[in-house]
Amino acid sequence: MAIVGGGIGGLTLALSLQSRGIAADVYEQASGFHEVGAAVALSANGTRVLRDLGVGDRLDICSAVPTELIYRHWRDGRRLRAFEAGETYEKRFGAPYYGVHRADLQQILVAACDPERVHLGHRAVDLTEAADGVRLTFADGRAVTADVVVGADGVHSTVRSHITDTDTLRYSGTSGFRGLIPAEQLPNLPDPGAIQFWMGPGGHLLHYPIGGGELINFLAVRHEPETWPDSAWARPAPPEEIAAAFGGWHPAVVDMVTATSIHQRWALFTQDPSNRWHRGRVVLLGDAVHAMLPHHGQGANQSIEDAAVLAACLTEADGDDPSAALGRYERLRRTRTRQVQRSSWVASDLLHLPDGPEAEQRDRNLATIDETLDWIHGYDATAA
Ligand SMILES: Cc1cc2nc3c(=O)[nH]c(=O)nc-3n(C[C@H](O)[C@H](O)[C@H](O)COP(=O)(O)OP(=O)(O)OC[C@H]3O[C@@H](n4cnc5c(N)ncnc54)[C@H](O)[C@@H]3O)c2cc1C
C-alpha cells in the first residue's frame, strides 16, 4: 500500500492499516510536520476512531476540551444559545471533543506509525497502472510500485487526476483569516474556554481553545470576495484589511482578528461531490475527494472516518483484485460525506445572515442544533 499525503487522513489510514497487519508506506511532500498557526477541532466521530487506534491518551494530554458551545450576536455579544460541552458531550457521544494543534496531532499519529514507513520530502507527480501494481513517481525521479495507491493528498490532489478528469474544485465565495492568540491577550473575550460562533452580516468568527487552553484558535470568515483568481490557498492581507472586515463587531471579535500575526486571507474551497472515488488500484480519501466548508468542523473528522472504513474494507480485499473492496468503501462513504458537505454549505449561509427576521428564525432553530450534532458527531464509522 502506498499512501500519497501525510495529512490527518493519510496518517490515520496508515495507522489503521498497521493495526490490521497491513503494511503501508506514507509519502509526504513536506519535509516535516510543523504547520504554524493552525489547529483543528476533533469531534466524537473522529476521536472515537483515534482512541480505538490507541492514541487517545496522547491526544488527551495535548488537547483542550471546550466547556460549552455558544452562539453569540456579532455586535452586542449576547448569548443566543449555549450547550454544555465537556463531560456532558463525552457522556452523550461516548468520545470527547478536542481542540488540538494540527502539528501535534500529526506528530502523535506519526509517532504511532512505523517510522521507517513515513517518507518525508516525497512529492508524487505521476502514477501509472500495470498488471502487477501501480507505479508512483516522485518529483526527484524516484519511483515505487504498490498494490494499491491511496490519494490522501488534500484539496489540490495530484492523484485525483488519475481518477477523474473533471475539475471539481470550487471556490466557495467565502474567505477567512485565522490565527492562534494567547487567551491572556483577549481581556474582552467572555468564556475563553468555550467553542463559540459570533454570527453577523456577511461573516462569522469561530474560535476554540487548544493545548492546555492557553491559546485560542480562530477562523474569521467573510462572504467575499465573489471570485478568487486561482487555486492558491491564500494571498497576503494587510492588517488594515483584516481590521476593516470586522469593523463595528464586538470588541472581543475585533481584538482577536487584529491580534493575529498571520496576515493572509485564505480562500475556502470545496470539491463538487464526485461520482468516482476509485479507478483500478487507485482510490481517494479525505479532502482529495470531498473537501468541504469548515463550518461543521468536519473536514478532518470525515478524513478520519474515511480512513477507518477504507482500512476495514482493505482488510477483506482480494489481493489480486482490490476493486471490489474499493467499491465497497466508496459506497459506504459517498452518501455520508455528501450529507456533511451539503450541511456545511447550509451552515455557511445561516451563519452570515444580517439582523432581521431570518436571523431571528435561525436563532430560534438553534434550539434543535442537538439533532445536527447527533447525526454528525454520533456516527460510528467502524460500526458502519
Ligand atoms: C481554515 C480551515 C479550518 C478548518 N478547521 C477544521 C476543523 O476544525 N475540524 C475539521 O475536522 N476540519 C477542519 N478543516 C478541514 C481540514 O483541515 C481538512 O479537511 C483536513 O485536513 C483534510 O485532511 P486530508 O488528510 O484529506 O488532507 P490534508 O490534511 O490537506 O493533507 C494532505 C497532505 O498531502 C500532502 N500532499 C499534497 N500533495 C502531495 C503530493 N503530490 N505528494 C505528496 N504529498 C502531497 C500535503 O502536504 C498534506 O500534508 C479546516 C479547513 C480549513 C481550510
Query: Would you list the domain boundaries of the chain?
Result: 2-168+271-377
What is d(CA 284, CA 277) in angstroms, rounded to the nearest whole number?
A: 6
Q: Ligand 1 center to residue 85 CA distance, Å?
A: 26
**Apex 293 CA angle, 33 and 217, nearest 5:** 50
Residue 117 is classified by DSSP as G
pLDDT recorded at residue 342: 94
Overall average pLDDT of the 186-202 stretch:
97
Q: Which of 101, 153, 161 to mutate to test the pocket of ligand 1 (most atoms within 8 A of CB)?
A: 153
pLDDT recorded at residue 370: 78
What is the tens place of the pLDDT at every residue in 313-342? 999 887 778 999 999 999 999 999 999 999
Tell me, using a 6 A CB cutoff, whether residue 203 lines ligand 1: no
**Apex 234 CA angle, 149 and 189, nearest 5:** 110
Residue 252, pLDDT > 80, answer yes
CB 51 within 8 A of CB 37: no
Q: Whose CA is nearest to atom 27 of ligand 1?
A: 154
Q: Ligand 1 center to residue 53 CA distance, Å?
A: 20
Helix (H) or strand (E) holding 346: helix 323-351
pLDDT band at 216 (very low <50, low <70, confident <90, very high): very high
Q: Helix (H, G, I), strand (E, B), or coil: what is residue 256?
A: helix
pLDDT band at 188 (very low <50, low <70, confident <90, very high): very high
Shortest CA distance to 205 belongs to which of 214, 216, 213?
A: 216
What is the tens place of the pLDDT at every residue in 366-378? 988 877 789 999 9
Cell, residue 346: 447550509
| CA neighbours closer than 13 Å in the CB half-sphere of residue 150 | 33
Say which amino acid occupies 306: D
pLDDT band at 26 (very low <50, low <70, confident <90, very high): very high
pLDDT recorded at residue 36: 57
Q: Ligand 1 center to residue 291 CA distance, Å?
A: 9
Q: In whole numbers, what is the pLDDT of the chain averaged over residues?
A: 94
Q: Helix (H, G, I), strand (E, B), or coil: what is residue 96?
A: coil
Pinpoint the alpha helices (H) of the chain.
8-19, 44-52, 56-62, 86-93, 102-112, 160-163, 239-245, 251-259, 287-290, 299-315, 323-351, 357-365, 369-377
pLDDT recorded at residue 35: 67
pLDDT band at 27 (very low <50, low <70, confident <90, very high): very high
Residues labelled as active-site residues = 208
What is d(CA 110, CA 104) in angstroms, rounded to the nearest whole number?
A: 10
Buried (b) or exposed (e) across 79-107, using 16+ Cβ within 10 A? ebbbbebeeebeebbebbbbbbbbbbbbb
pLDDT recorded at residue 231: 79
pLDDT band at 213 (very low <50, low <70, confident <90, very high): confident
What is the tens place of the pLDDT at every residue in 53-107? 999 999 999 999 999 999 999 999 999 999 999 999 999 999 999 999 999 999 9
Q: Whose CA is nearest to atom 9 of ligand 1?
A: 297
Q: Helix (H, G, I), strand (E, B), or coil: what is residue 66?
A: coil
What is d(CA 151, CA 289) in angstroms, rounded to the nearest whole number?
A: 9
What is d(CA 138, CA 172) in angstroms, rounded to the nearest whole number?
A: 31
Q: Whose CA is nearest to atom 39 of ligand 1?
A: 153
Q: Residue 161: CB partners within 8 Å, gap ≥ 6?
A: none
Tell me, using a 6 A CB cutoff, whether residue 123 lines ligand 1: yes
* DSSP assignments along 74-93, one per residue: TTT--EEEEEE-HHHHHHHH
pLDDT band at 2 (very low <50, low <70, confident <90, very high): very high
From residue 189, how far is each of 205, 260, 300 by CA, in Å?
12, 15, 27
Q: Ligand 1 center to residue 7 CA distance, Å?
A: 6
CB 232 within 8 A of CB 221: no
Residue 121, pLDDT > 60, answer yes
Specify the CATH number of the domain 2-168+271-377: 3.50.50.60
pLDDT recorded at residue 230: 84
CB 284 within 8 A of CB 154: no
pLDDT band at 37 (very low <50, low <70, confident <90, very high): low
What is d(CA 137, CA 126) in angstroms, rounded to the nearest whole number?
A: 5
Cell, residue 289: 475527494
